[in-house]
Amino acid sequence: MGYYYLLIWLLYVLFGKVVCFNFHRAPVANITIGVVCGPHTLFIAAGLVMGLRHMHITADVLTKMPNEFDRSYYIVLTPQIFGGLFPPKSKFIIYQLEQTVSNRWMRKRYLKNLKNSCTAIVDYKMQNIEFLRSRRVMTPIAYLPINPIPGVDTMPLSGKIRGNVTHTVVNAVEAAASEQTFDILFYGDASTGRRKRMLAAVKKAFPGRVISVSNVFGPPLQKLVKTARVVLNMHYYENGMLETPRIFEALSVGVPVVSEDSADAYLYPELVGVVTFFKIDSVSDMEVAIRRVLLQPPRQIDFDRFHATSSRKFHTMLERFLLQIGVLPPVHYRQATILDTDSSTTNQVVLSPPEFYARRLRFQQVVPRDTHFTVYDGFLFPIRWIGCAMAYARLAQYAVRNNMERLTVCEDDVDFPPDYSMHVALVHRYLSSQRHWDFFSGLIAVVDESVNVTKAEYFEGHLFVTIDTASSAVFNIYNRSMLLKMASWDQILTSNTTYRNLQRYATIDRHMVRGGANVVVMLPFLVGHAPGVISTLWSKDTNLRLYGSDIEKTEILLTAKAEAFVRGGGYQDQVVNY
């Protein structure tokens, strides 16, 4: 996002009908969703149903595939366990829950289902989405992470929930829970060599205090978890991702977790101070971590606060997903949470769709250490400019509601120069000295040669130019005048507005400059654009290769116009001491 907005309409004309969902037109009150799962994913299914019901959508957990598909949609968890009987494609949504670090499930047949059988995919890992895209899975994919669901253990579930568990196993589990004969619990598949080895070491270090169970699900398992003092999490694969289903199920019922660290643990900052991590493949560090947690006084972790924060995040992402696939009408985006942050306000935001994990990772690696940007996921619609407009309008509404005078918004393909912190401080000083400006653009990809320069001047030795239009959003600082204008983009949205109606709306950049705008630019540009980054708008990288040359041409054009303005005597050289 952020480039060539004037061409986005052409993109839609050429490709829009190919990539659009068949958006559901039924009112939310009439939508029914069946969440189909096997016994091992009951926790995730129950959380989905609770979230859907929270939004007044009729939803139920189904532990087997129905014979008739009379609901509006079916979200199927781990569809490979159900054989070949699936809902019609227009009603079929797959919740992809396998780790792509292994080819255990990523075979041709499974990928074929993801490509051809469903109308949308949701995935619990950002990295998985990058992998599926590399395997040419073109089905629209949305990120929906797993999170703790307080109260999930009290939710009534219909249908058979124990799978192939014998009564002997269930009775033994319930006896262990009632007698409280253990402290440390591991549940799940313990058949892999690494888990066997680590479990044997734990049982030796804590004799008689460890229990390991498998093929136990639903209320019997949750009763057992609530009795434990510690739930242990270890990777199934050598290079495994964080097993968030097990971690968050335990945290949902208020039990501390000791987990093996992982390469993607940093993507879950909410777990810092809540989960105790030990070094990957380190038995000794695992034992130390368990002892540390067992020595903690009860309720040292503030589970209430953690649950509140995590629930807000889950509902935010669920709303985002339902908006993106058209289950919720466009007007509902006004109710979606804007920023999931403990701070009441943040004046620096990076727009970074989680479906493009490599872009987000790159941004986190290049952002200056003395600079903090709050991540905003935005919206990712098949017609990308609609999601772009909604994201910027919501950010503007957030800023206006919090009485902010300025809001800095960048996108995750921005490139920061080594002297960024010094120069952005200079920009803010210049803007503070100006009375009439609407937004500052840190980089402009393309501008018409007829652009008007209304002001050009040197400030502390740097050239600033004011022009009457701009169309890039790689890095912008918005003044309150522009924030008010952007916030009004959706003023004609009603409960009857459909996604097809929305195609007639102006793109956000056209809305911003309608009626004129004072756009300030520093020359040379404050920031750059990262070369080779996958575009969230364009499907081919040929357009990316054009950005660099276009940016250079635009910078040369604006510099020439600004210098001509200066030579004409229409500027004032300001010398300000700070």
pLDDT value of residue 72: 95
Pair of tokens at residue 406: 């300025």
> ∠14-20-25 over CA atoms, to 5°?
140
Sign of CA dihedral 247, 251, 256, 262: positive
Q: Mean pLDDT of successive 10-residue segments in the chain (578 residues)? A: 36 33 50 93 91 91 93 94 88 92 76 90 93 89 86 56 40 51 89 93 95 88 90 91 92 92 90 93 96 85 80 85 84 69 72 92 93 90 80 91 94 95 97 95 89 93 92 92 92 71 74 89 95 62 58 91 83 40
Alpha carbons 432 and 419: distance in angstroms, whole number: 20
DSSP string, 67-109: SS--SSEEEEESGGGGTT----GGGEEEEE-S-TTSSSS-SHH
Residue 263 to residue 266: CA distance in whole angstroms:
7
Say if residues 12 and 383 touch (Cβ distance below 8 Å).
yes
pLDDT of residue 180: 56
In degrees, rounded to 5, the angle at the alpha carbon of residue 33 between the alpha carbons of residues 28 and 34 is 170
For residue 366, the model assigns a pLDDT of 94
Residue 476 CA to residue 415 CA, distance in Å, equals 13
Sheet holding 348-351, edge to edge: 374-376, 348-351, 406-411, 475-479, 439-441, 519-523, 462-467, 453-459
pLDDT at 10: 35
Q: Is the peptide bond before 524 cis (omega within 30 degrees of 0)?
A: yes
Secondary structure tally for the chain: helices H, strands E? 17, 21
Bridge partners of 232, per DSSP, are: 258
CA dist., res. 461 & res. 547, Å (int)? 28
**Contact assessment for residue 380 and residue 439, using Cβ atoms and an 8 Å cutoff:** no
Using CA atoms, how far apart are residues 479 and 428, in angstroms rounded to an integer?
A: 11
CA distance 530 to 551: 12
End-to-end CA distance of the chain: 37
Tokens of 47: 């959380």
Q: What is the 3-state secondary structure (H, E, C) of 424-487?
A: HHHHHHHHHCCCCCCEEECCCCCCCCCCCEEEEEEECCEEEEEECCCCCCCEEEEEHHHHHHHH
Burial state string for 249-270 with b = 16 or more CB within 10 A and e = fewer than 16: bbbbbbbbbbbbbbebbebbeb
C-alpha pair distances (Å), 36 with each of 50, 86, 218:
14, 10, 15
Q: What pLDDT is recorded for position 390?
A: 87
Contact 297, 258 (CB under 8 A): no
**Whole-angstrom distance, CA of residue 425 vs CA of residue 231:** 48
- The alpha carbon of 538 is separated from its chain's Cα centroid by a whole number of angstroms, namely 20
> Residue 228's closest CA among 172, 176, 302, 151?
176
290 CB contacts (<8 Å, ≥6 apart)?
A: 184, 202, 205, 206, 230, 232, 258
One-letter identity of residue 343: S
Residue 146 CB partners (closer than 8 Å, separation 6+): 44, 47, 124, 244, 245, 248
Phi-psi region of 21 (alpha: psi -120 to 50; beta: other; left: phi over 0): beta
Whether 241 and 127 have beta carbons less than 8 Å apart is answered as yes
Report the distance separating Cα 422 and Cα 65, nearest Å.
60
Say whether 301 sits in a helix, a strand or coil: coil
- Going from the C-alpha of 174 to that of each of 153, 158, 166, 223, the distances in angstroms are 15, 20, 13, 8
